[in-house]
Amino acid sequence: MFAGDIIYDGPPLYQGFGMDVDDYEASFKQLEALPVRIVHAGHDPSFGKDRLGAIIATYRARWRAEGILA
């Protein structure tokens, strides 16, 4: 899968002009449902399905800790 900037294996960026956590969360749910083997992101190295889940979990944990996501 070519993911562009929606997800990548680097530090999470989610605050700034045009960025919305609810939009990220909706996209993450769609990504999790895909039969992905390899993710080619717009930045950083490519990764597999397990790493995709780990990256999403990291974002969600951070957002919950910051009170952004329930």
Model confidence, pTM: 0.88
Q: Whose structure tokens read 């700034």?
A: 16
The encoded tokens of residue 59 equal 């974002």
How do residues 29-50 score in pLDDT, each as one tens digit? Answer: 999 999 999 999 988 999 999 9
Q: Give Dmax over CA atoms of the chain in angstroms.
A: 32
CB 39 within 8 A of CB 46: yes
What does the domain layout of the chain look like in residue ranges? 2-11+20-28+36-65
H or E stretch at 39:
strand 38-41
How do residues 51-70 score in pLDDT, each as one tens digit? Answer: 999 999 999 999 999 999 87
